[in-house]
Amino acid sequence: PSSYVGFDSITQQIEHKLLKRGFQFNVIVVGQTGLGKSTLINTIFASHLIDTKGRLAADEPVRQTTDIQAVSHTIVENGVRLKLNIVDTPGYGDQINNEGCWDPIIRYIKDQHSAYLRKELTAMRDRYIQDSRIHCCLFFINPTGHSLRPIDIIVLKKLSEVVNVVPIIAKSDSLTLEERENFKQKIRAELAYNGVISYPFDTDEADEEEIQVNEIVRSMIPFAVVGSERTVIVNGKTVRGRKNRWGVINVEDEAHCEFVHLRNFLTRTHLQDLIETTAQIHYEAFRSRQLLALKD
């Protein structure tokens, strides 16, 4: 007689359930107008999108984003369904007086938490609550090579209190490799000095391997990226890239920029952790504040 009960099949049961349901991943992009936000999003996800309500064709004109708008896509890879919500924001900090220009963005993020909480508190709550909470905020930094603007620091700080913030250097093709490295160090120092807590966090549960991966990610942040919705031909191969007077930048070449690292981080190594951290840290903090306020 064997003492084997068979509950180890639970991992398959869980996997089957999860696959059937699919994953919801919500990203918001923030930064000045013209820094390539819309372009980068299309560069990351465009080749994978099957049904989409956004701008994807390269020959469509670039529209300027005037209000906060969410676009949903579904991506399927090897039977895994990823429901992707991309929230594009109008350039903030474009005005002469930028006082409070971050308010609509912060409000949008909090509104999603609040909607989730309301559904959670309903007596007849749905089995699965539709999750529109923002799991990741890509913050676009102007590639000046100098330092962050005071307004960037204010906004980064406010954002990092409510969402996982991942800063990236936009249009990094305008920096030399040396400038890029110096700029990255400078930004990391400024973030630390100003107490901006940027993702990833090491939790108590993190094991050796996770801590190591996070360390590597921290040493790369801010990712210096280049986006392009066009393809160019390099050595007879079609790649996503930008052609200028001097040559071609292959967006997916790690020697040219850190686009591939950002994409791996978002879609391969940290997708689940971004979702979990949002629920366990940011949403939890929001939830306990709201519930405490109700008591008084």
The alpha carbon dihedral of 71, 108, 287, 282 has a sign of positive
Q: Is 227 in the site for ligand GDP (CB under 6 A)?
A: yes
Smallest gap from Cβ 41 to Mg ion, in A, equals 9
Residue 52's binding partner out of Mg ion, ligand GDP, none, with CB under 5 to 8 Å set by partner kind: none
Contact with ligand GDP (CB under 6 A) among 24, 26, 27, 39: 39
Peptide bond into 104 cis (omega under 30): no
Smallest gap from Cβ 169 to ligand GDP, in A, equals 10
Smallest gap from Cβ 286 to ligand GDP, in A, equals 28
> In this complex, which beta carbon is closest to ligand GDP, that of residue 37 or of residue 73?
37
Q: How far apart are CA 252 and CA 232, in angstroms?
A: 12
Which range of residues in 1-9, 58-66, 67-75, 149-157 is near Mg ion by CB under 5 A?
58-66
Q: Is 173 in the site for ligand GDP (CB under 6 A)?
A: yes
Smallest gap from Cβ 67 to ligand GDP, in A, equals 13
> In this complex, which beta carbon is closest to ligand GDP, that of residue 65 or of residue 290?
65
Q: Is 171 in the site for ligand GDP (CB under 6 A)?
A: yes
Residue 160's binding partner out of ligand GDP, Mg ion, none, with CB under 5 to 8 Å set by partner kind: none
Categorise residue 264: left if φ over 0, alpha if ψ from -120 to 50, beta otherwise: alpha
Q: How far apart are CA 126 and CA 183, in angstroms?
A: 47
Contacts (Cβ under 8 Å, ≥6 apart) of 61: none
Chain residues 96-155 in contact with ligand GDP, contact rule CB under 6 A:
none
The CB density around residue 105, as the number of other CB atoms within 10 Å, is: 23
Contact with ligand GDP (CB under 6 A) among 25, 27, 36, 217: 36
Q: Any idea of the CA torsion for 111, 35, 142, 66, to the nearest 10 degrees?
A: -40
Contact with ligand GDP (CB under 6 A) among 22, 23, 34, 232: 34
Contact 30, 138 (CB under 8 A): yes
> In this complex, which beta carbon is closest to Mg ion, that of residue 43 or of residue 277?
43
Q: How far apart are CA 282 and CA 119, in angstroms?
A: 17
Contact with Mg ion (CB under 5 A) among 24, 26, 38, 278: 38
> In this complex, which beta carbon is closest to ligand GDP, that of residue 161 or of residue 253?
253
Residue 197 half-sphere exposure toward CB, CA atoms < 13 A: 10
Contact 27, 89 (CB under 8 A): no
Q: Is 264 in the site for ligand GDP (CB under 6 A)?
A: no
Where is 17: in which H helix or E strand? helix 10-21
Give the interface with Mg ion as residue ranges (CB under 5 A).
37-38, 65
Give the interface with ligand GDP as residue ranges (CB under 6 A).
33-39, 62, 65, 91, 171, 173, 226-227, 242
